Every structure is written in structure tokens, then in C-alpha cells.
Chains A and B, each alone.
Chain A
Amino acid sequence: MNDPADPFAHDATPRRSSALEQRLGRFIAPLGWLLAALCVVYAWSVVEAPIDRTQGVIQKILYVHPPLAYGAYLGFVVTGVAGLIYLWLRREEFDRLAIAGAEVGVIFCTLMLITGPIWAKGTWGRYWSWDARLTLTLLLWFVYLAYLLLRSFSTGGERTARFAAVYGVLGVILIPLNYFIIEIFGSRSMHPENLERGSLGDGMGWPFLLGNLTLFVAFVYLVTLRWQLEELRAEEAFRLAGEADPMNESALR
């Protein structure tokens, strides 16, 4: 049961971080500075953007809401793909990436679910409608909350990783499935069918583009940071395991 050669053995000694993760650390500080600079420009552009003639100032949620949505979907795809790679290659760093993707995805999704109804109340007159995108997003939010709960309720590091990976893959399968369902059974969408830059008013394109860029960089930054944190935790567990068992020489630096 506890064969050290089997990377899936339940209580195998935690291993050191991979070369990939060690290279990751270099990007964090530059990404942070880039993000800080972008935030300033982004905030300025949103303040300067013209106020919508029909919707008023509430229309400025546009510069936050859709970019959050892209981040949320991206996070969930990262989780599913990283989980799949983990099951395939059985390398722990991809499990750590999956955690990062899910947590950051849930944050983006939550913020999207908060900003959406505020905008909806201001323009459609009610907080919620059961249209395709809203329902799909709500379902995905539940799937990834369940993913995080599964992780925190499961026992044993490696088993948790496997269970979570299977559930994460299921989550990604559910995205097209749910989309298909709502296309058939759902009501008509209140969202615009396509959001091309041409459909935006004068002076709204740039802040929107900046919003997308800034929140994308924020997404990458947060995922990298979270990944790094998980890696440091694994490293520390590895070190403690080495101290607790001095005979295990392979664990000593």
C-alpha cells in the first residue's frame, strides 16, 4: 500500500517542487508591477470614459463585468485541463495549478455574479433572469464551489488530488452540456449576442479593452501567486517529513 515507487501511494512522502514551478517565481514580481501600472491606467480610462446616454453611469460596469466572466471561464478551463494532465502524467505540480485555477476562477465568478445583478437592476429592471448565460454561470459556480468543498473535505493529499481531478474534468464536460440544455429549454437571452467593439459607443472601446487586459493580467498574477503558495506548502511538508524521519536520506537537502 505504501510503495514509494508508486506516485499514487496514499501517504507517499511529499516531493520537492518541479523545475517548472521554480522558474515560476521569477515572473511574480514583474507581473505584479505590470498589474499595478495597468490598474492606474485602467482606472483613469474608466473615469474618463463617456457616460452612456440611455443607461447613465451604471453602464460603466461594462468595463468590469465581461472581463470578469472571461477570467472565470478561463479559471475553470485551467482547473479541468490541469486535472486531466495530473491524471495522465501523475505530476503533483499540475494538481497545485488546478487548485489555483479553481480558487481564482471562483473569485472571478463570484464578482461577476455580484456585478451582473447590479447592472441588471439598473437596466433591465430586475436583479436576475433565468437566461442562458446567467443560468450557465450559476451552475458552473456551484460546480466549482463543490470542487473546493470536495478538496477540503477529502482526506489524504494524493487522494484529494485524484478525486478533485476527476471532478474538475467533469466540470469542464458540464460547460458545453449545460450550454446545450439552456439553448433548448432556456428563455431568450438578454445579453447581447456578440460584443464587438463596433457595438460600443465612442470612447468606450479603449477602456473596455484595457479592462480585459488588466483583469487578464490580474488573473495570471493571482493564479501564479496561488500556485507558488501551494508549491511552498508542499516544499515545507517535504522538509518536515525529512526532519521527522532522518533515516530518509533522499528527503534531506
Chain B
Amino acid sequence: MSVAWTILRKDLLGEWRSRDRVLSMLIFSLLMAVAFFFALPDARAEDWVELLPGLLWTAYVFSALLGLNRSLALELENDALSGLALAPGHRGFVFLGKTLANFVLISFVEAVTAAVFALLFGVDLLGAAPALALVVALGTIGIASIGTLLGAMAVRSRFREVLLPILLLPALFPLLAGAVDATRAAVLALPLPFEAIQLLIVIDGIYLVVGFLGFDYILLDE
């Protein structure tokens, strides 16, 4: 487990010193907000509340893709992946460390994105913040875990930037269905739908287990 904490600290420290990943993800999210504004020119003020959950998750997924690609591409420099593969203990802990680091970075970007979207589209999210945070955190665990696993595959293939979305998006659809449903309830200040929350927890569990076990095979030949 200490391997996981070490990797988490290493990734966060590296990001704190360069800030390039978070910055590019944030700028991308902002660009998405502008794109949504131009894509939906007829939306009135009250429409944005209904649209926001879907738009938020679209921005979340695509900015997370940017970050995930970079997270594992980083490890290719100086052949750092070999070092990770040689970490003591089960390689699944390497996966947990990378997943945690990705979770922290993506969550930070998501929080800022939500605030910016609330401001730009005039939707009050302050009251909904605790419920929203819970739902977004549950969704992000799933994105970070399966994204880290598939990112580790995509990064060592040709056309890695293209391959990750193609591999990742089909695996994210079930998660998105639950997350958007629960986010809508949170934004509209309705009670959170039990089924959607349950589903997110189940998917997070499955993806964490698949990632933990699968990573052993992914890092085998480094």
C-alpha cells in the first residue's frame, strides 16, 4: 500500500511543480463551455438548469481524457514505467497510486469547471454542492480507475491519443447514465435516486477490481 501512497505523492508533487496538466484540462473545460453556448443558441435561462448535468459530464469526460493520456505518457519519459513495474509488491498498488493521483487532479478540475459553468450559465449550484460533490466523486472514481487501466494500454500503442477515447468511452457509458441521472437530481434539489447511486458504487467497485488485477498483466513486460 505504501507503493500507492508514494506514487500518489510523486504524481501530485510533479503536477504541483509543473501545473501543465491541470491548466490544460481547465482551459479545455472553459472552451467546452463556450462551445456549448454556441451549440445551443436558443437555450433560455431556465433551460440551462435542465441541460447542465449532461453538459457538465460531457466536459468532465473529455477533459479527463486529456489528463489521463498525459498521466501515463509522463511515465514513458526516461523509461519510468520500468521503474514502476519493478515496485515491490503487487503491481495493482501501482495502479491504485496512479488512480488516486488521477482522481485528485480530475476532481479538482471538475470542481472548478462546475463553478465556472454555474457562473456562465446562471445556475445556482451552491445549495446543491454537497450532493453534487458526492455524485461527481462517485463518477470520478470510475473514470479515474478504468481510465488509468486503459491509459496504460493505450500509451504503449501507436496513435495513443486516438486510441484512449475509443477504448475508454464505451466503458464509460454505463457510468455516465447513472452519473447524469444523479446529477440532475442534485442540481434540481430532488432526493438522490437510489438506483443511480447504487449503480455508480457497483461500477466503481468492478472497475477498481478489474484495474487492480488487470494492471498486473499490463505492466508485465516493462
Contact = CB atoms under 8 A, between A and B. Distances in A.
Interface of A: 1, 8-10, 87, 139, 142-143, 145-146, 149-150, 153-156, 158-159, 162-163, 165-167, 169-170, 173-174, 177-178, 180-181, 184-185
Interface string B144-166: 00100110011011110001001
Given A170-B171, A174-B174, A177-B206, A163 B153 contact: yes
A173 B210 CA distance: 10
Interface of B is mostly: helix
B159 to A, nearest CB: 6
A167 B218 CA distance: 11
Nearest to B193: A184
Nearest to A144: B170
B158 to A, nearest CB: 5
B156 A149 contact: no
B157 A155 contact: yes
B181 interface: yes
Nearest to B169: A142
A177 B163 contact: no
A210 B158 CA distance: 44
B221 interface: yes
Given A178-B174, A181-B174, A87 B210 contact: no
Nearest to A179: B174
A8 B166 contact: no
B214 A166 contact: yes
Contacts of A154: 153, 156-158
A137 to B, nearest CB: 12
Interface residues of B, number: 31
Contact of B203 (A139, A146, A177): A177
Interface of B: 146, 149-150, 153-154, 156-159, 163, 166-167, 169-171, 173-174, 177-178, 181, 195-196, 199, 203, 206, 210, 214, 217-218, 220-221
Contacts of B210: 166, 169-170, 173
Given A177-B206, A181-B177, A181-B199, A166 B217 contact: yes
A87 B153 contact: no
Contacts of A145: 166
B182 to A, nearest CB: 11
Nearest to B196: A184
Contacts of B157: 150, 153-155, 163
Given A162-B217, A170-B210, A146 B177 contact: no
Given A154-B156, A173-B206, A185-B177, A143 B221 contact: no
